[in-house]
Amino acid sequence: MTCDGCSISLAKAFEIFQNDSETKSFLIKHGIRESLVKCNKCGADAYLTADEKWWRCRKRQTKTVNKKVIKSQCDFKQSVRTNTWLQGTKLQLEKSFLFASLYLICNPPHEEFLMEELNMSSGTVCDWSQYVREVLENWCLNESTHSLGGPGKIVEIDEPKFGKRKYNRGRIIDGQWIFGGFERDSKLIFLEKVDDQSASTLLEIINRRIKPGTTIMSHCWKSYDCLAMEGYKHLIVNHSMNFVDADTGAYTQNIERMWRDARGTIPKFGRRDYHMSGYIADFLFRRAHPSHITRMHAFANAVTEFHKDNWHNVQTFEYFFTLKKIMH
């Protein structure tokens, strides 16, 4: 039995994930936990221990060796967390998914709320927040399959730097460059981490992410000067003079609004550049599922895909972020 769709509010999350049987049912329906495990020694059906933490097999076997009858008993034992997203973790199963629910339902930043509500230390909250974001990063990777634009379509592009001022002084910002595009009609977007703003770096992404014939709107930046020669119609707006070009009507207010929303979800203190991909994945996932009551179902499906995609190697991937569909 699989779940075709469920809605989990804050009250419902506490109801489900503070009850052992409800949690078990939720995990089985979403393919996170197996309802039946075969013994890898004798092939018989394993059974759950009374505390439902282990799969065991104690099947009695009889075999004849040199006309001597030998009786034995299978000693198969496997944690219910084995081959799941929770493999190697120690936090109580129900509390793990209650944490994920509260993380997704509440708007960031939410570290202090999670610490107080679940009686968890700051370190544990940080670790489990990262576990959740790893799933969302993998979700983004799976969604990054479509190019934007095409003839008659408009895509806004921009490349801000996410970070903070060095020593909180001046205008030099330490952080991570992000390059993104926003298609006006469909509201599809893509985001990618980049090391610099050079023409070669940005053009490679543009050719891969934006279809030829697209009208691209951007601010004045020398790296974009070659776009007309690459099969695009390029319109620019000089932000030092105005926000909307008086002659062409070009503007980039949609993608600038998106950057503002994204910055609002990223912690202002205590963040690390190597976590930036996770923060952006978090932002994209919430944008794809604006109703908080549907996020846990979507996350549970993402956990299943995360395991299929070899979860223990997920941090070695180069993350490219594309939002498949924001609004229906």
179-189 pLDDT, tens digit per residue, is 989 999 988 88
pLDDT category, 96, cuts 50, 70, 90?
very high
Mean pLDDT, residues 81-93: 84
Binned at pLDDT 50, 70 and 90, residue 174 comes out as: low
CB atoms within 10 A of CB 100: 23
Say yes or no to pLDDT of 271 above 80: no
What's the whole-model pTM score?
0.77
101-105, 168-172, 245-249, 263-267, range with the lowest pLDDT: 168-172
Confidence category of residue 314, pLDDT binned at 50, 70, 90: very low
- 305-326 burial by CB neighbour count: b if 16+ within 10 A, else e? ebbeeebeebeeeebbbbbeeb
3-state secondary structure (DSSP) of residue 82: coil
Q: Are 76 and 56 in contact (CB under 8 A)?
A: yes
For residue 5, the model assigns a pLDDT of 81
Query: Is 301:135 a contact under the CB 8 Å cutoff?
Result: no
Residue 76, strand partner residues: 57
Residue 173 scores a pLDDT above 60: no
User: Has residue 92 got a pLDDT over 50?
Assistant: yes
Region of 305 please: left (phi>0), alpha (psi -120 to 50) or beta.
alpha
Average pLDDT score over residue span 67-83 = 84
Look up the CATH number of domain 1-33+80-328: 3.30.420.10
